[in-house]
């Protein structure tokens, strides 16, 4: 029965059967990609750890640690993908679409911790340089780049607006860049004999890790705090709704994300004093507009014809100047 209610909820929000099937097929394929990626990243982490120990290379060791946490991040992303596909229940009436958002937030925090640790180790390596084996750095770094780039490309094709998968992609993409840097660094050390290049690469890797995590933290926090979806402007949505035939005004507007790919909206809409059979057509037009132009699939719209004072706790978008002049 839960699956039936879930399907009814999606259809009422404006999602059709074809889109539902496409989302399910995409999630199944993404889950398969994540499973293969986990195995590859774990194998790469073990190889880099062994090579880093033998070569005494901080760059390889830090990248091995990054790859290991990438594996954990991919496991978390896979588990979140599984959880968020579960149907709504009596206690979780929206389902679990934020499981992936929460996983992305935790992964991003983990990335920050890794970056800080790499900075710490690189600082100490600069103060007390260690001899490194550049041959191991180039060979294992090259292998790591092939694996990281392949996994990143596979994940890139599965993103489709999913912040959970995008975070997993940023994990592996940053690692692809860092392994390419390790190859270049190994070549420079072999040519110059300057072992300080290794901890400098550590700083570079740490900086890439930190940079990749900041945007994810901002976006996931915005979703968890029920902020306006990324790339959407409230006044633009309100203006579009006001232009729907039969709509006189819009206020008490709230737009938020249930997950990284599902948006919701509630608002008060002022209309003329007409029978419910006529107002139903206005509702249909509003829902079609919101779904097609703004990807807002779940709406709660309260019709009213009497003057209703906006809530003092709500942001109330001002009526556009052009509309006020035309009134």
- Look at residue 311 in the predicted model and tell me its pLDDT: 66
Answer whether residue 194 is part of any domain.
yes
The total number of structural domains that make up the chain: 2
Q: How far is CA 266 from the centre of its chain?
A: 24
Is the domain of 291 the same as that of 214?
no
Tokens 């968020």 sit on residue: 84
DSSP string, 127-148: HS-----HHHHHHHHHHHHHHH
Q: Which of 80, 231, 39 is nearest to 164 (CA)?
A: 80
pLDDT averaged per 10 residues in sequence order, the chain, 327 residues: 42 43 50 79 84 78 74 75 77 81 84 84 81 82 87 80 74 80 87 85 81 82 91 92 93 88 90 86 94 91 78 64 43
Q: Burial of 111 by CB count in 10 Å (0-12 exposed, 13-18 middle, 19+ buried)?
A: buried
CATH value at residue 14: 1.20.1510.10
Answer whether residue 229 is part of any domain.
no
CATH value at residue 274: 3.30.70.1350
- Look at residue 136 in the predicted model and tell me its pLDDT: 81
Q: Which residues of 217-253 are buried (b: 16+ CB within 10 A; e: fewer)?
A: bebbebbeeeebbeeeeeeebbbbbbebebbebbbbb
Is the domain of 56 the same as that of 133?
yes
- Look at residue 319 in the predicted model and tell me its pLDDT: 56
- Look at residue 305 in the predicted model and tell me its pLDDT: 82
Instruction: State the Cα–Cα distance between residues 74 and 107, nearest whole angstrom.
Output: 9
Distant-in-sequence, close-in-space partners of 308: CB < 8 Å, separation ≥ 6: 251, 252, 268, 270
Instruction: State the Cα–Cα distance between residues 216 and 218, nearest whole angstrom.
Output: 5
Instruction: State the Cα–Cα distance between residues 114 and 64, nearest whole angstrom.
Output: 11
Is the domain of 242 the same as that of 214?
no
Q: Which two tokens stand for residue 4?
A: 């039936």
Residue 195 phi, psi (nearest 5)? -75, -15
Distance, first Cα to last Cα, the chain: 50
Answer whether residue 64 is part of any domain.
yes
Is 168:34 a contact under the CB 8 Å cutoff? yes
- In the chain, DSSP assigns E strands to 249-257, 263-270, 296-304
- Look at residue 243 in the predicted model and tell me its pLDDT: 93
Is the domain of 96 the same as that of 157?
yes
Is the domain of 215 the same as that of 240?
no
β-bridge mates for residue 268, sequence order? 251, 302
Residue 70: domain span: 2-224
For the question of whether the overall pTM of this predicted structure is more than 0.95, the answer is no
């Amino acid at each position: 029965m839960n699956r039936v209610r879930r399907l009814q909820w999606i259809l009422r929000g404006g999602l059709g059967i074809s889109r539902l099937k496409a989302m399910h097929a995409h999630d199944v394929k993404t889950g398969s990609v994540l499973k293969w990626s986990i195995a590859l990243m774990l194998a790469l982490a073990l190889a880099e750890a062994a090579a880093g120990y033998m070569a005494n290379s901080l760059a390889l060791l830090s990248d091995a640690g990054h790859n290991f946490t990438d594996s954990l991040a991919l496991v978390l992303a896979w588990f979140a993908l599984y959880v968020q596909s579960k149907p709504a229940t009596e206690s979780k009436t929206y389902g679990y679409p934020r499981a992936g958002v929460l996983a992305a937030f935790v992964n991003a925090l983990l990335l920050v911790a890794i970056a800080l640790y790499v900075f710490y180790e690189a600082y100490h390596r600069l103060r007390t340089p260690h001899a490194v084996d550049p041959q191991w750095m180039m060979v294992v770094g090259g292998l790591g780049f092939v694996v990281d780039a392949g996994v990143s490309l596979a994940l890139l094709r599965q993103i489709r607006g999913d912040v959970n998968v995008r975070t997993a992609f940023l994990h592996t993409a940053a690692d692809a860049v860092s392994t390419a840097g390790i190859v270049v660094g190994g070549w420079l050390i072999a040519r110059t004999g300057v072992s300080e290049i290794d901890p400098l690469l550590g700083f570079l890797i740490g900086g890439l890790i930190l940079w990749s995590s900041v945007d994810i933290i901002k976006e996931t926090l915005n979703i968890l705090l029920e902020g306006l979806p990324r790339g959407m402007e409230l006044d633009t949505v309100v203006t579009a709704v006001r232009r729907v035939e039969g709509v006189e005004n819009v206020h008490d507007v709230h737009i938020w994300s249930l997950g990284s790919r599902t948006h919701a909206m509630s608002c008060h809409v002022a209309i003329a004093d007409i029978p419910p059979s006529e107002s139903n057509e206005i509702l249909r037009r509003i829902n079609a507009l919101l779904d097609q132009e703004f990807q807002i699939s779940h709406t709660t719209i309260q019709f009213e014809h009497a003057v209703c004072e906006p809530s003092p706790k709500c942001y109330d978008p001002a009526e556009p100047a052009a509309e006020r002049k035309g009134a």
